[in-house]
Structure 1
């Protein structure tokens, strides 16, 4: 779930910049004063070249140690990386549960490694004023693979949303060729077959499907969901899916502001008419006993137990959990089958969010700029995170050892003795645990062919349907000044808490929707309008200064 957890990050700045970063207007600055920073760098390094430092180099990196595949310094990933690039990575390993806090302390104290991955925009904004991280857009001229993909995939509008007030950006994001969708609803296909229910196309169809399930099994809640995030139960994946379907931001997808292209203004997401319409739909499902009220607070284990024991028939799912969890959970139920529904559509139509084309990325410590190996480090980063060969290596490993074939012609095959997600689930070796490949610190972004290489045929069919959908445009930049960011930060937490708390109350019927106007006034009393005024002022200022 490394890709979608970014939706949980709702720092104040996220609202203001719901789009994602742009390629440097100051590209020429990257070469200024770097004559003595080229030790180990390649001359004439260009897109498609294999990077190999001209002398052995070591770069420090912050390593998120994933609970599912804890960090090992002796992974074949690191051995092969050094062989190919002449670079050794010196990792500072931090457990995922402590990563954000530890990173913040290290960066703020000036003690961070040179390379700081797994950073989700707008987390980098907290470090800009102190000068602890580089304006990386000044140095992308040193990164030919990155700049080539930005141009070829037309990612500049997405990147523009990463820019700070100075017109520069401070985070190198993962780049996706196309928007993509992973999460949807998992459903007991055998129950649907028994009840002769067609696959739902819209969320209204989902409601009809749940009603038929409830009619046949009045003693249970057909949908009992997972992926809630106590103590903020207003943030979960079901709300995220519904928010997108209704043209707003909710749950994991929460950002405080929503761009209204018709009015050319930002609106407060939790006060939008679309947000209310989403809650009306959800409350109807809860009031009819179609959705388990505990969906917004229960742990994943409890939700999975209900699904496994036949106490529910519908649950949130992604490609990995479908194979690795749900199908194993119901294996003891005779005849049980689980399918992933094509993502239902809502009033917003058949759209996918354009922001899904960028992912978490890298910050670079300002100290790295003083290293004699700075240019070589930027070339190394460019190869590993942005070249086709680097992406293939970090994702799938070593041709002939962990995989065969190519992704671009569809001949790719993971070695049958190695498992990853839904591929070769019964194999004795694990690509992540035993080899260190497909590690979330390194392996993200890439072409659609690369993305599809990780999927089963079933998931490829799901993705083919998603690819038919229209990609919504990203919001325009509205970068805040340091003072403005400090101000909205003071308001953001109280506003978000109020939205999340009342989202749950409205959904569960603990507060009637007839009090919606009163709720909106409560948000205004907590400075939602002043928040919007600052954001819209920042938008107008940036448009005037940068076009």
Structure 2
């Protein structure tokens, strides 16, 4: 009996295996049979090659229209790109403020352009089960520069975090050679000097500094923040959360990996998240953090800093040089504003930045295009080759920049960017379209740092000396699991966001934390974590 059962299982298994192999070979054949999709593609295209389509081709692209450098059709970027690649891009411009919503609407309606950049993981998850976007990992053989950088920089662990339950990923991320942390507090160093205080190195010291500022200027809110819309506390809670060993603001994820315990915890219920809220609540209760920071517009926050009603604000090198310093120069010419290294918190010294950046989704309709292979080669060159990345960032040698014998690049005499050449009458982004966030990201550390001022290099040297945040293991959901968690995620996140603000602003006392946890359980927090754990264990078993 046992013998017969074993044989029956063996026969059945063999049958299933045969069917799987047939299905697999058919799927592979479908993916690799690109004979009808090679119009305009280069027959030989490899690492180091300049891509140029063999005939003129056009590709539509979703364009995130930045308020600082609004789209211009006569930018040198467009004409030079066509000259070098024989590709003309047709941008579908969407305002920066509405980008994510409009992207979802266009994809849902089946009207999205072929190339969909400026997508931050895990935003692509929402479009996977519908088949609206392409499993780009199936086509990496068309992208030699992408593959080379993954191998050379040993980025596979990071890429694994993008995988879905089918083992594929649907986003081509920007790739950095090393982590790059951008945001921190911008602080009035002249006020620090006035109070005889050093630049704070820890969050406890930040509290002490803000307290001293408040004592000297009682009518002020020493810290009045920006980046509160659409995500309350977007930047501040993101980098503060990292210092406390959690995820918040822009980087909030429902599940946080705890390396020491080798398990996931629900982020908004964790002790680290609670400690972060306690810190912010203390700042608000003592009048050190403007309660309007979480709801005011960026312009309102900038105005308060410019008018001396605040002395600190979140920012990066670009907002410091392009916005906040010019604001202050008009109203308080003697003011000095600096970006301080990310203060250290309970999590210790850590560089929280990932080596992956926002990336590109591909409309699945592109697979049927006769120019599909040319399009993938083009994306590979522009976003992942050294030459394409340099072009997108710096522009045209001899026009926007020059290079000395040692290879060092310098902006042309009449071109400015991030205050590197303040006497320049033209701007690399506004007037030429280079250094554009839709196209210029990722790359070698040398290229990344080529635009850094000595001041920003000091900041980066401090951050680079800190250990990188561990890469969390993947936990890709099946379609059925994804369908289930999608019903839970929005209510959970909305509840965490609302109550986080209530705790911070003192509208709900932190003595009600246990009641808050019970309410989270009522919104399926435990069931969510169970699915995360199940997906994590499954991925470990299947991938080792």
Please tell me whether the aligned partners of residues 29 and 138 of structure 1 are also in contact (alpha carbons under 8 angstroms): no
The separation in 1 between residues aligned to 2:144 and 2:29, in whole angstroms, is 15
The separation in 1 between residues aligned to 2:250 and 2:368, in whole angstroms, is 39
Q: Is the partner of 1:353 in helix, strand or coil?
A: coil
Cα drift, residue 311 of structure 1: 1.6
Please tell me whether the aligned partners of residues 30 and 138 of structure 1 are also in contact (alpha carbons under 8 angstroms): no
**Range with bigger deviation, 49-58 or 97-106:** 97-106
Matches within 5 A, 1:443-462: 443-462=440-459
Structure 2 residues not aligned, in runs of 5+: 1-25
Question: What residue is the counterpart of 1:527 in the other structure?
Answer: 524
2:380 equivalent to 1:382: yes
Q: Is the partner of 1:470 in helix, strand or coil?
A: coil
Question: What residue is the counterpart of 2:301 in the other structure?
Answer: 303
Cα drift, residue 422 of structure 1: 2.6
Question: What residue is the counterpart of 2:283 in the other structure?
Answer: 285
**Range with bigger deviation, 144-153 or 330-339:** 330-339
Question: What residue is the counterpart of 1:88 in the other structure?
Answer: 88
Please tell me whether the aligned partners of residues 28 and 141 of structure 1 are also in contact (alpha carbons under 8 angstroms): no
State which structure, 1 or 2, has the greater radius of gyration over its C-alpha atoms: 2
2:524 equivalent to 1:505: no
Distance 1:288 1:409, change over 3 A: farther
Matches within 5 A, 1:103-122: 103-122=103-122
Please tell me whether the aligned partners of residues 132 and 364 of structure 2 are also in contact (alpha carbons under 8 angstroms): yes
2:338 equivalent to 1:339: yes
Cα drift, residue 28 of structure 1: 7.6
Question: What residue is the counterpart of 1:102 in the other structure?
Answer: 102
Cα drift, residue 205 of structure 1: 1.0
Please tell me whether the aligned partners of residues 153 and 177 of structure 2 are also in contact (alpha carbons under 8 angstroms): yes
Cα drift, residue 29 of structure 1: 6.9
The separation in 2 between residues aligned to 1:167 and 1:48, in whole angstroms, is 29
Matches within 5 A, 1:375-524: 375-405=373-403, 411-524=408-521
What's the RMSD between the two structures over aligned residues? Answer: 2.1
Question: What residue is the counterpart of 2:191 in the other structure?
Answer: 191
Q: Is the partner of 2:256 in helix, strand or coil?
A: strand
Question: What residue is the counterpart of 2:239 in the other structure?
Answer: 241
Cα drift, residue 287 of structure 1: 2.2
Instruction: Compute the TM-score of the two structures, normalised by the length of structure 2.
Output: 0.91
The separation in 1 between residues aligned to 2:109 and 2:511, in whole angstroms, is 50
Q: Is the partner of 1:88 in helix, strand or coil?
A: strand
Distance 1:237 1:146, change over 3 A: same
Distance 1:73 1:319, change over 3 A: same
Cα drift, residue 426 of structure 1: 4.2
The separation in 2 between residues aligned to 1:140 and 1:129, in whole angstroms, is 21
Per-residue Cα deviation, 1:147-175 (whole angstroms, up to 9, x for no partner): 00011111111111111110001111111
Q: Is the partner of 1:433 in helix, strand or coil?
A: helix
**Range with bigger deviation, 252-261 or 140-149:** 252-261
The separation in 2 between residues aligned to 1:527 and 1:274, in whole angstroms, is 21
Distance 1:308 1:30, change over 3 A: farther
Q: Is the partner of 1:352 in helix, strand or coil?
A: coil
Matches within 5 A, 1:27-66: 32-66=32-66
The separation in 2 between residues aligned to 1:220 and 1:289, in whole angstroms, is 8
The separation in 1 between residues aligned to 2:118 and 2:301, in whole angstroms, is 28
The separation in 1 between residues aligned to 2:483 and 2:361, in whole angstroms, is 21
2:133 equivalent to 1:133: yes
Cα drift, residue 455 of structure 1: 1.8
- Extract structure 1 runs of 4+ deviating beyond 4 A: 26-31
Which has the higher relative contact order, 1 or 2, with Cα contacts under 8 A spaced 6 or more apart? 1
Question: What residue is the counterpart of 2:347 in the other structure?
Answer: 348
Question: What residue is the counterpart of 2:74 in the other structure?
Answer: 74
Distance 1:289 1:130, change over 3 A: closer
Structure 1 residues not aligned, in runs of 5+: 1-25
Aligned match for 1:265, one of 247, 263, 266:
263
The separation in 2 between residues aligned to 1:283 and 1:508, in whole angstroms, is 6
Per-residue Cα deviation, 1:313-354 (whole angstroms, up to 9, x for no partner): 122121011112221222232521111111111111111225
Matches within 5 A, 1:178-257: 178-229=178-229, 233=232, 235-257=233-255
**Range with bigger deviation, 388-397 or 423-432:** 423-432
The separation in 2 between residues aligned to 1:246 and 1:29, in whole angstroms, is 49
The separation in 1 between residues aligned to 2:493 and 2:111, in whole angstroms, is 32
Distance 1:450 1:545, change over 3 A: same
**Range with bigger deviation, 63-72 or 205-214:** 63-72
Q: Is the partner of 2:138 in helix, strand or coil?
A: helix
2:174 equivalent to 1:177: no
Please tell me whether the aligned partners of residues 189 and 199 of structure 2 are also in contact (alpha carbons under 8 angstroms): no
